A = this chain, B = another copy of it.
Amino acid sequence: MSKPQRVATDRVKRSGGSQDTGTLGKAISVLDIIANSSEALRFTDVLKLSDQPRGTLHRQISNLIDEGLIAVNRDNCYTLGLRLLQFASKAWAGNEFRNVAAPHIQKLHEATGETVHLGVLRDIEVIYLDKIESRQNIRMVSQIGNTAPAFCTGVGKAALSALPDEELHERVERIEFRPYTPNTLADAAALLSEISTIRSTGNAYDREEHELGITCVAAPIFSRTDALFTASVSVTGPAYRVTPEMLASWTEITRDTASAIMQSMAIQLSPRS
């Protein structure tokens, strides 16, 4: 007897994007177009990128502007609205997982002296939820909320490894294996093989696979009660300073940090049942 999934968990799968349905979905698609463009877009530019008719798109944009999700500058170019900052500020401050994880990643940072990341898997991307670095480079805001492909980052691969097989394969099929560096994994087979290693060792590495000169070791964080939530912690550093030996020496502490976070989450959530 298969009990029907609750709507909530049932639909989160598809990453936001182009094929969105419903009025809200279309509006967010437009927002996405504006967010993901490197160029500043005017109305006609968005028109070309979206497949909406003129009138429709125009009203959608008007609505987004009304809500403060989009702003227009003097050249009639669209930018993301400050309302998004407002929401995000609260999303971040109120995020239970981040709050729970904060002291642990702080400890990890102190122990290693290198940059520490907390990442959450969203479909086949990783969203960086938190970051601690020594030489606080002032402008970290833009880093938090940043996304990176899951398949070529330590946080990403660690998080992927925590997925149930079926889910994992479904997602891996949709990955486009863009070769960011010479070390980037080339295809699904390579990725799956590495994930199998990660599952047995409990650690994922990034050996300059996303960006040359950047290496890291990561460990997965997952919840068995809610299998769709997977995340991870990592210690990252420049390859010239952080040797493979150093990375290897941090495997245990990253795993311990991940475990500690899972424990804290479990405690945090248990008073219910």
Report which A residues bind B (CB closer than 8 A): 7-9, 11-12, 14-16, 20, 22-25, 27-28, 31, 35-36, 58, 60, 62-69, 72-76, 79-96, 102, 120, 122, 127, 129, 132, 136, 138-147, 225-226, 269, 272
Most chain B beta-carbon contacts within 10 A, residue among A31, A67, A68, A129: A67
Say whether A8 contacts B142, CB under 8 Å.
no
User: How far does the alpha carbon of A222 sit from the alpha carbon of B27 in the complex, in Å?
Assistant: 30
Assuming the A-B contacts A16-B67, A35-B90, are A73 and B96 also in contact, with contact meaning beta carbons closer than 8 angstroms in the complex? Answer: yes
Say whether A9 contacts B87, CB under 8 Å.
no
Q: Which of B27, B75, B88 contacts A88 (CB 8 A)?
A: B88
Query: How far is the CB of A40 from the nearest CB of chain B, in Å?
Result: 9
Assuming the A-B contacts A20-B67, A68-B122, A74-B226, are A87 and B84 also in contact, with contact meaning beta carbons closer than 8 angstroms in the complex? Answer: yes
Q: Which of B22, B83, B84 contacts A63 (CB 8 A)?
A: B22
